[in-house]
């Protein structure tokens, strides 16, 4: 698969040829096709960038929520996280979904 830079160079070359001595119908079709390829590739690149930004945002939300869960665990159990296993935290958290400890 070509990259954006390669396609831009090919399009630029075809556009220069068109400016100098015109393009045949075949050449115009090729130019149009390369422009469509470039648009598709740029759309994919944009989606990948957005997906990465959304992925980062999601992890930021998860981190904030995990901080809240840990604070709630400490508040209600008086246990330090350094003295707690992940399994203990997960079991406690799951139990809270069925019967939460009051404020």
- Tens of each residue's pLDDT in the chain, 103 residues: 567 777 787 777 777 777 677 666 677 777 778 888 888 888 878 778 888 888 888 889 999 999 999 999 999 999 999 999 999 999 999 999 999 876 5
Asked if residue 103 belongs to a domain, the reply is: no
What was the pLDDT predicted at 41? 82
What was the pLDDT predicted at 19? 67
For the chain, how many structural domains are there in total? 1
What was the pLDDT predicted at 7? 73
Domain hosting residue 59, numbered range: 4-98
DSSP helix/strand/coil, 48: helix
What was the pLDDT predicted at 27? 72
pTM value is 0.53
The 10 Å CB-count burial string (b at 16+, else e) for 58-91 is eeeeeeeeeeeeeebbeeeeeeeeeeeeeeebee
């Amino acid at each position: 698969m070509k990259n954006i830079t390669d396609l831009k160079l090919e399009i630029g070359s075809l556009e220069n040829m068109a400016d100098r001595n015109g393009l045949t119908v075949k050449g115009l079709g090729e130019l149009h096709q390369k422009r469509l390829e470039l648009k598709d590739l740029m759309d994919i690149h944009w989606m990948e960038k957005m997906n990465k930004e959304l992925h980062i945002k999601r992890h930021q939300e998860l981190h904030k929520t995990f901080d809240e869960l840990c604070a709630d665990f400490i508040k209600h159990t008086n246990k330090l996280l350094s003295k707690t296993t992940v399994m203990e935290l997960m079991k406690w958290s799951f139990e809270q979904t069925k019967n939460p400890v009051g404020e």
